[in-house]
Amino acid sequence: MTKKQTYSIGELAREFDVTTRTIRFYEDQGLVSPSRRGQTRIYSPADRVTLKLILRGKRLGFSLAESKELIGMYQPQGDNRHQLLALQNKIQQRREQLEQQLRDIHALQLELDDAEQRCVDAMKELEN
């Protein structure tokens, strides 16, 4: 018994914790193109991977349009060089944004520590 070869929209929705509406929306936007059996959508393992990539893109703050570009990279079709560079630029931007976020979080934590201290002090004051 090897891996599952096809998936229904409901199965994928459950697995990735999104609604079927969401998955259909991605199809509408041209990010996935499942085959059909009659009316019903049949998703392949490749489609499943595509969904995974979309969701990872979302976590990274990519728009659906950007994720679509990104996913296009995985189907090598001649000269990816240009798109590859564009993509690497975006990754680099995210990296820098991440670093900024880390700095921001650190600053916020320092202020939190300070606020906490003031809070503790105020409570001690009340105990006297």
Pair of tokens at residue 121: 């002090």
Identify whether the C-beta of residue 79 lies closer than 8 Å to the C-beta of residue 43: no
Determine which helix (DSSP H) or strand (DSSP E) holds 40, and give its type and residue range.
strand 40-42
Going by C-alpha positions, the residue among 76, 6, 17, 96 that lies closest to residue 52 is: 17
Query: Where do contacts with a second copy occur on this chain (CB under 8 A)?
Result: 56, 59-61, 73-74, 76, 78, 80-81, 84, 87-88, 91, 94-95, 97-98, 100-102, 104-105, 107-109, 111-112, 115-116, 118-119, 122-123
The answer to the question of residue 35 lying near DNA (CB under 7 A) is: no
The answer to the question of residue 5 lying near DNA (CB under 7 A) is: no
| 38 binds, options a second copy, DNA, none, Cβ within 5 to 8 A by partner type | DNA
Say if strands 35-37 and 40-42 run parallel, antiparallel, or are unpaired.
antiparallel
Minimum CB distance to DNA smaller for 58 or for 90: 58
Return the number of other C-beta atoms located less than 10 Å from residue 87's C-beta: 16
The answer to the question of residue 58 lying near DNA (CB under 7 A) is: yes
The answer to the question of residue 100 lying near DNA (CB under 7 A) is: no
Identify whether the C-beta of residue 31 lies closer than 8 Å to the C-beta of residue 50: yes
Residue numbers at the binding site for DNA (CB under 7 A): 8-11, 13, 18-22, 24-25, 38-41, 58, 63-65
